[in-house]
């Protein structure tokens, strides 16, 4: 910022009276408040979905659609395990639980079920007309080897068996009873059995001597998103009411839970607690600090006004830009309290140091330093928002807007609101001056030998720390799940044969037939992977949608039954000849009548599976080459060796293993490196800006202080064996932004630094209070963010007073 621009701004503001400035501030304040009310009425909301903060995994529209469909299918689905030592009790309790959920919460849940008997009936109704195109692997092998007589003998055994499912209606349309085995083959493989329409199995236990337990599975889907706080409350309340009714009738049963609902609810509760506790303690600490420094109610009130305006600007501008405000943004944003209050500290410390100045004169006196501080802070926060990471973009806008609100409050409201006379603060100023004198006289080496030792010790510390520094970009750091919830989730996943993981296969093709054939080709590979324990289970549409090639082959194989040997088969089975010709005609009419994906997925049998099939988008604005093909999703469960599983398909261009967690973790690693690069760019930008006012030598020295603080912070993290993450890197940007402000005020103050030292001391304490509390967050990402700032600001505070060594010898430019 040039000297001319300083003078122009000062000249304009100096012409305005305190009343006019207050009027401008009130207009800005009420305009912002009205804009916020308008945004809220227009649908702005608080967002708790952790996925909303994450970057996009793939630019491929087909892959993005597949991820969205899998998330939509799984996100609102949850499972309840009803546990009892007696199987009958578990089944009865599960049945009652389903009845209670259906009767008391029709507006909350849907698809409440256990074993879906109606699904089997729907499958039978759909597939029976296509029975001539269906064969199991064993049946296909027998007919390929012309072993139709063996199939006839098997049919005879069924006819005379006491437990046979054969009847005259079925035999008249399927004399060799091939169709029932094909219908059974559609059922997914699972370790659970069915008892009175309820899925039931033994409860796994690591204690061999423990009494055997049983768990009955109940499934349901929330009508609203599991990440909506209101939906969480209504769903959990309805579930607790139903469970209470069950336990009143079956007091011996217990419950297990699995699903995004329980993780999201825990995250919401945790975020709310941390927002309230961290924000409240931070606020109390700031109030105590202001009272200690100024011993007056007025500075406390001005501090509260500053913080309120800062938060108002932060919330409203974030809603304007994004249309929503994430809970994690609020948690990160509580640290804004420790930064926005700095403007209040510098104003009042300047008044204490120069009691002859009134409020208007004081605000004009610190305007150059405050303006440069705002500019460098916005550069720092802007660096956070450059990476395509929605979560950090929100944090950047939130904090930058909050600081702008605090700056405007100081410039336009302080001259009128903060004009009251202050109590003497000489004692506090003297303490700050004594501390600075101690640092400059005692902490500075008195000889070259001691300076060399200090430099050597610092280099050894940095070398050891940086050599021990490692990285960890796992996306799961974003969310903390209580151990009790995770343990229940893991238990139910084991019961459900591994459950469904976040990873899935995306099978692509230019036509429906291409995808069907590809599904059939990978099926043996997936079955082998299960045998090799690379995978717990998988669920594919291959058994529901055989390719036309396979259907045509099956039809041709059955010609030996219905066109070559039908008379012999009827004679061996003792079937009347009167139905022979109608059956032959029915077979002939079925030629080239294939099972189509569209027909199946729109039927009652296939509606629940429709999310696993992707058709070309019609009227899409996207490039047709990217979104014109067909695709199918294969769900994977119980993945034990992801790398080896991925290697099975790496040479197949039509099969993608979509691993959103892994891909986002890779992106976070890339953003971590980019953020550290942005830090270097921000340092260079600050040198250029400060050179215009202080000259290249002093500007370089000013920037070297937060740069050294950042290096020392990284070294400390390495010695603590804390792996470096994106959130450590993001925090280093703020270490620079806050640290450069400290150096800036010392440089602007020249020799009159008592007030600056006191303001920096108060600023550092308030910032450490805010960020230090973040370091104790249960969410690892927030904890990493806070810990880095706690260490970095401490180093910056200790180093910044040494700017005075150079300002005493460096003339102003």
Percent of the chain with pLDDT over 90: 19
Residue-wise pLDDT tens digits, 214-234: 899 888 888 877 777 777 888
What six digits make up the tokens of 168? 């005259």
Which helix (H) or strand (E) segment holds residue 400: the answer is: helix 390-408
What six digits make up the tokens of 63? 């892959």
Residue-wise pLDDT tens digits, 686-710: 888 888 878 888 888 888 888 999 9
For residue 214, list its beta bridge partners. 84, 202
- With a cut of 60, say whether residue 121 has pLDDT above it: yes
Q: What spatial distance separates the first Cα and last Cα of the chain, rounded to whole Å?
A: 13
Q: Where are the alpha helices (DSSP H) in 634-753?
A: 642-647, 660-694, 696-719, 726-749
- Strand 77-84 vs strand 109-113: parallel, antiparallel, or unpaired? unpaired
Decide: 289 and 428 in contact? Cβ < 8 Å.
no
Residue-wise pLDDT tens digits, 352-406: 878 888 888 888 888 888 888 888 778 777 776 766 667 778 888 888 899 899 9
1-43+295-424 against 436-468+659-813: fold identical: yes
Decide: 65 and 226 in contact? Cβ < 8 Å.
no
Q: Token pair 């699972």 is at which residue?
A: 190
Which helix (H) or strand (E) segment holds residue 278: the answer is: helix 260-294
What is the distance between the alpha carbons of residues 747 and 751, in angstroms, rounded to a whole number?
Answer: 9
Average pLDDT over residues 408-429: 82
- Write the DSSP symbol of residue 54: S
Residue 313 pLDDT: 92
Rounded to the nearest angstrom, the gap between the alpha carbon of residue 53 and the centroid of all alpha carbons in its chain is: 6
Q: What angle do CA 791, 701, 377 make, to 5 degrees?
A: 55
Cα distances (Å, whole numbers) of residue 537 to 160, 365, 635: 37, 71, 9
Q: How many CB atoms lie under 10 A from the CB of residue 324?
A: 17
What is the distance between the alpha carbons of residues 152 and 142, in angstroms, rounded to a whole number?
Answer: 11
Q: What is 1-43+295-424's CATH number, 1.20.1640, 2.60.120, 1.10.3470, 1.10.1760?
A: 1.20.1640
Residue 676 pLDDT: 85
- 735 pLDDT tier (thresholds 50, 70, 90): confident
- With a cut of 70, say whether residue 48 has pLDDT above it: no
What is the distance between the alpha carbons of residues 110 and 101, in angstroms, rounded to a whole number?
Answer: 9
Which of 528, 485, 478, 768 is closest to 644 using CA atoms? 528
- Strand 77-84 vs strand 324-326: parallel, antiparallel, or unpaired? unpaired
Percent of the chain with pLDDT over 70: 86
What is the distance between the alpha carbons of residues 132 and 34, in angstroms, rounded to a whole number?
Answer: 69
Residue 455's Cβ-side half-sphere holds a number of Cα atoms within 13 Å equal to 7
Which helix (H) or strand (E) segment holds residue 331: the answer is: helix 327-333
What is the distance between the alpha carbons of residues 1 and 689, in angstroms, rounded to a whole number?
Answer: 6
Least confident of 503-517, 529-543, 544-558: 529-543
Which of 436, 615, 600, 589 is closest to 512 using CA atoms? 615
Decide: 228 and 267 in contact? Cβ < 8 Å.
no
- Write the DSSP symbol of residue 444: S
Residue 445 pLDDT: 66
- Write the DSSP symbol of residue 655: E
What is the distance between the alpha carbons of residues 745 and 534, in angstroms, rounded to a whole number?
Answer: 60
What six digits make up the tokens of 174? 């399927």
Which of 440, 292, 430, 405 is closest to 769 using CA atoms? 292
- Write the DSSP symbol of residue 224: S
Conformational region of residue 752, where left means phi above 0, alpha means psi within -120 to 50, and beta covers everything else: beta
**183 CB contacts (<8 Å, ≥6 apart)?**
120, 123, 124, 127
More confident residue, 584 or 168: 584
- Strand 504-509 vs strand 254-259: parallel, antiparallel, or unpaired? unpaired
Residue-wise pLDDT tens digits, 237-251: 888 888 999 999 999
- Write the DSSP symbol of residue 638: S
| pTM for the whole structure | 0.71
Residue 810 pLDDT: 44
Sequential DSSP letters for 770-782 = HHHHHTT-SSHHH
Decide: 328 and 366 in contact? Cβ < 8 Å.
no
Q: Token pair 């030629």 is at which residue?
A: 591
**Would you kindly state where each structural domain of the chain is located, as residue ranges?**
1-43+295-424, 436-468+659-813
Residue 53 pLDDT: 63
The phi and psi torsions of 782 (rounded to 5 degrees) equal -70, -40
The phi and psi torsions of 221 (rounded to 5 degrees) equal -125, 130
What is the distance between the alpha carbons of residues 152 and 154, in angstroms, rounded to a whole number?
Answer: 5
Three-state DSSP class for residue 219: strand
Which of 283, 382, 368, 300 is closest to 334 using CA atoms? 283
- 337 pLDDT tier (thresholds 50, 70, 90): low
Decide: 405 and 381 in contact? Cβ < 8 Å.
no
What is the distance between the alpha carbons of residues 687 and 681, in angstroms, rounded to a whole number?
Answer: 10
Residue 387 pLDDT: 61
**9 CB contacts (<8 Å, ≥6 apart)?**
367, 371
What is the three-state SS of 60-113? CHHHHHHHHHHHHHHHCEEEEEEEECCHHHHHHHHHHHHHHHHHHCCCCEEEEE
- 27 pLDDT tier (thresholds 50, 70, 90): very high
Mean pLDDT of the chain: 81
Q: Given this structure, which CATH class describes domain 436-468+659-813?
A: mainly alpha
Residue 26 pLDDT: 93
- The alpha carbon dihedral of 496, 500, 505, 510 has a sign of positive
Which of 412, 433, 307 is closest to 370 using CA atoms? 412
What is the gyration radius of the CA atoms in the chain, in angstroms?
Answer: 35
Which of 306, 515, 522 is closest to 414 using CA atoms? 306
Which of 72, 191, 183, 119 is closest to 637 using CA atoms? 191
- Write the DSSP symbol of residue 724: B
Q: Token pair 């004399």 is at which residue?
A: 175
- With a cut of 80, say whether residue 642 has pLDDT above it: yes
More confident residue, 138 or 492: 138
Decide: 9 and 364 in contact? Cβ < 8 Å.
no
Residue-wise pLDDT tens digits, 258-306: 887 888 788 777 777 776 777 778 778 877 877 877 777 788 888 889 9
More confident residue, 497 or 150: 150
- With a cut of 90, say whether residue 719 has pLDDT above it: yes
- 621 pLDDT tier (thresholds 50, 70, 90): very low
Q: How much of the chain is in helix, strand and coil states, percent to nearest 5? A: 65, 10, 25
């Amino acid at each position: 910022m040039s000297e001319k621009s300083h003078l122009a701004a000062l000249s304009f503001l100096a012409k305005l009276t305190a009343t006019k400035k207050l009027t401008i501030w009130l207009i800005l304040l009420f305009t912002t408040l009205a804009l916020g009310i308008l945004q809220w009425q227009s649908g702005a909301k608080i967002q708790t979905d952790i996925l909303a903060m994450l970057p996009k995994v793939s630019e491929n529209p087909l892959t993005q659609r597949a991820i969205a469909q899998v998330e939509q299918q799984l996100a609102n689905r949850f499972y309840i395990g009803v546990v009892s030592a007696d199987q009958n009790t578990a089944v009865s309790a599960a049945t009652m639980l389903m009845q209670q959920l259906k009767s008391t919460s029709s507006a909350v849940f849907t698809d409440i079920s256990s074993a879906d008997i109606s699904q089997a009936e729907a499958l039978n109704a759909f597939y029976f007309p296509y029975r001539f195109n269906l064969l199991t692997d064993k049946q296909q092998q027998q007919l390929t080897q012309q072993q139709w007589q063996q199939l006839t003998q098997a049919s005879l055994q069924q006819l005379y068996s006491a437990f046979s499912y054969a009847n005259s209606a079925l035999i008249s349309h399927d004399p060799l009873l091939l169709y029932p085995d094909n219908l059974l083959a559609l059922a997914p493989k699972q370790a659970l059995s069915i008892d009175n329409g309820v899925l039931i199995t033994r409860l796994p236990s690591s204690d061999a001597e423990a009494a055997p337990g049983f768990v009955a599975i109940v499934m349901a889907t929330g009508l609203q998103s599991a990440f909506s706080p209101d939906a969480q409350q209504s769903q959990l309340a309805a579930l607790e009411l139903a469970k209470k009714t069950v336990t009143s009738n079956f007091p011996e049963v217990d419950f297990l839970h699995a699903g995004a609902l329980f993780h999201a609810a825990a995250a919401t509760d945790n975020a709310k607690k941390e927002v309230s506790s961290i924000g409240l303690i931070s606020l109390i600490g700031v109030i105590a600090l202001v009272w200690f420094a100024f011993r007056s109610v007025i500075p406390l009130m001005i501090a509260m006004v500053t913080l309120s305006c800062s938060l108002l600007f932060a919330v409203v501008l974030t809603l304007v830009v994004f249309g929503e405000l994430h809970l994690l943004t609020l948690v990160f944003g509580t640290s804004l309290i420790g930064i926005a209050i700095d403007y209040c500290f510098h104003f009042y410390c300047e008044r204490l140091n120069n009691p002859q100045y009134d409020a208007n004169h004081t605000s004009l006196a610190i305007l150059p330093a405050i303006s440069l501080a705002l500019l460098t802070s916005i550069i720092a926060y802007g660096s956070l928002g450059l990476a395509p990471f929605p979560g950090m973009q929100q944090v950047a806008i939130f904090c930058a807007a909050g600081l702008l609100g605090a700056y405007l409050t100081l410039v336009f409201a302080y001259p009128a609101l903060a004009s009251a006379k202050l109590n003497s603060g000489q004692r506090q100023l003297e303490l700050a001056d004594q501390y600075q004198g101690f640092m400059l006289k005692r902490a500075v080496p008195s000889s070259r030998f001691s300076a060399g030792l200090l430099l050597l010790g610092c280099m050894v510390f940095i070398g050891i720390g940086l050599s021990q520094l490692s990285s960890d970009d796992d996306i799961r750091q974003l969310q903390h799940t209580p151990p009790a919830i995770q343990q229940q989730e893991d238990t139910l996943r084991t019961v459900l044969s591994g459950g469904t993981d976040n990873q899935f296969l995306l099978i692509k093709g230019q036509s429906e037939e291409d995808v069907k054939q590809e599904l059939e080709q990978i099926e043996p590979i997936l079955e082998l992977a299960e045998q090799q324990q690379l995978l717990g289970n998988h669920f594919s549409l291959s058994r529901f949608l055989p390719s036309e090639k396979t259907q045509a082959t099956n039809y041709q194989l059955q010609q030996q039954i219905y066109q070559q040997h039908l008379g012999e088969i009827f004679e061996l089975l003792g079937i009347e000849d009167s139905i022979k010709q109608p059956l032959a005609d029915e077979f002939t009419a079925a030629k080239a009548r294939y099972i189509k994906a569209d027909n199946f997925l729109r039927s009652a049998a296939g509606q629940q599976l429709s999310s696993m099939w992707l058709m070309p988008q019609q009227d899409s604005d996207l490039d047709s080459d990217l979104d014109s093909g067909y695709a199918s999703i294969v769900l994977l469960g119980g993945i034990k060796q992801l790398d080896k599983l991925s290697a099975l398909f790496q040479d197949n261009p039509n099969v993608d293993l979509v691993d959103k967690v892994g891909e986002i973790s890779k992106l976070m690693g890339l953003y971590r490196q980019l953020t550290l690069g942005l830090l270097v760019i921000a340092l260079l930008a600050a040198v250029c800006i400060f050179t215009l006012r202080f000259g290249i030598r002093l500007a370089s020295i000013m920037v070297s202080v937060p740069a050294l603080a950042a290096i020392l912070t990284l070294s400390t993290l390495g010695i603590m064996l804390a792996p470096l993450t994106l959130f450590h890197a993001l925090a280093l940007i703020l270490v620079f932004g806050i640290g450069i402000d400290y150096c800036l005020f010392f440089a602007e103050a020249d020799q009159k630094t008592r007030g600056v030292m006191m303001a920096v001391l108060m600023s550092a304490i308030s910032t450490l209070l805010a960020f230090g509390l973040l370091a104790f967050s249960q969410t690892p990402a927030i904890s990493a963010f806070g810990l880095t700032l706690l260490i970095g600001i401490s180093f910056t505070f200790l180093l910044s007073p040494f700017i005075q060594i150079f300002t005493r010898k460096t003339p102003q430019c």
